[in-house]
Structure 1
């Protein structure tokens, strides 16, 4: 986590020092991916690498709609495999600090899926819906290429068709990630 933060700050500093002087257009479609630290919590807290994909449309300089999906690597131990993921659709509100930097916040709805597979037992799938929240900073590297450092948090209730202990459990999934996207 500390290495990811240091890398993100270093990249932002490099890109800020090589700022493009032309005015960037921050409206229209964008699509990108991210890599970060994902944490899933329902009683016990598990963390690991998170992979994400996002895209959206900015209607103007301050308002857009975004779809965001992130998935975890294996969050379990040597006895249990655990995987988690979310898909969220959110309105996104942006404040342009200058032509290069902006900050954003978003709130919306999300679906949650967690798969748990203990050794020698069948998979247990937990699914549900909840709320998604996110904040971050965006830096325009070129007219079309952007990097961003963001924190997304999804909370909701998940349930399973099986009754192996956790039926109707509260689930929190957070993702701190460095992303890069292309603005069309």
Structure 2
């Protein structure tokens, strides 16, 4: 069991080395479930084995991009009991994780890599360390940008060693549930445009005055088209420009991040634009003929979509009243 003493501190070290950051692709999690031993080899073969047990572990991961990440951690795979003791397996996983985004809240993934194992047979007092291949599949549901849950299966190929004076060898299957915390989910970023410059004093003779454009960018929450009080505050100078100058026109363009299908994001961006246009028209008495609203979906990002901060910046509605010249 000396290798157990070596593996556990390393797993604890891996799970506790990071600090939260605003823009951080790291995540950490834990999992628990059932395990099953099969395809056993000597000296386990032919024994009256209890092949089912429980297992679990902790892990840490790094998202290289939106579809690929790296994971490592400690996993306990339980014990196949026989002769008042048994064949116990634990170790360290190092895998690549390949993800396919089904919707904004749901992913499926596959994992493949290696497992540095410690196999201990308490019946014949044999202990073996080594590396075996491992692979798995799973599904992940996001409750929020920070928290998700996993349902997964993972296969460990021929863990241990067979033959005389060996602990034995077995395939091990793990199936269970996991909970994952993702660091770096950003708060919405509001971009406040400056107030238009005051109009110059009237000259004795007519002169051309340049009225500056007014715009604002309204951030939206994940998968939402709801206006917040902060959004309404940002709209005030834009709406006032429309009230002050009845010949001006308002342009409203909705955008989304890249999570979800392109069709869904196009519809969501149009809904966001319609909510903003409807609010301005209703609360400030602006005729619909003066408002042009459209959605661009995920096609015009202002930041990369492979980070949480970037996706938050892309979930937005841009409002714009063009500048113009007038004679005073």
Query: TM-score per shorter chain, which class?
Result: 0.7 to 0.9
Long gaps (5+) in structure 2: 1-23, 184-328
1:107 pairs with one of 85, 89, 112:
112
User: Which structure has more RCO (C-alpha within 8 Å, separation ≥ 6)?
Assistant: 1
1:37 pairs with one of 34, 39, 46:
34
TM-score, reference length from structure 1: 0.73
Aligned residue pairs: how many?
152
Pair 1:85-2:90 in alignment: yes
Per the TM alignment, residue 80 of structure 1 is displaced from its structure 2 partner at its CA by 1.7
* Equivalent in the alignment of 1:53: 58
TM-score, reference length from structure 2: 0.43
Per the TM alignment, residue 170 of structure 1 is displaced from its structure 2 partner at its CA by 4.2
Pair 1:97-2:102 in alignment: yes
Q: Deviations over 1:134-171 (max 9, x none)?
A: 110000012201100011111146338x943x47x543
* Structural RMSD (CA): 2.3
* Equivalent in the alignment of 2:128: 126
**Alpha-carbon distance change, 112 to 62 in structure 1, aligned in 2, over 3 angstroms:** same
In structure 2, C-alpha distance between the alignment counterparts of 1:157 and 1:140, rounded to whole Å: 33
In structure 2, C-alpha distance between the alignment counterparts of 1:145 and 1:98, rounded to whole Å: 16
Please tell me whether Structure 1 or Structure 2 has the larger radius of gyration of its CA atoms.
2
* Equivalent in the alignment of 1:17: none
Runs of 4 or more above 3 Å deviation: 72-75
Name the one with the larger helix percent: 2
Name the one with the larger strand percent: 1
Structure 2 SS opposite 1:76: strand
In structure 1, C-alpha distance between the alignment counterparts of 2:60 and 2:154, rounded to whole Å: 14
**Alpha-carbon distance change, 156 to 129 in structure 1, aligned in 2, over 3 angstroms:** farther
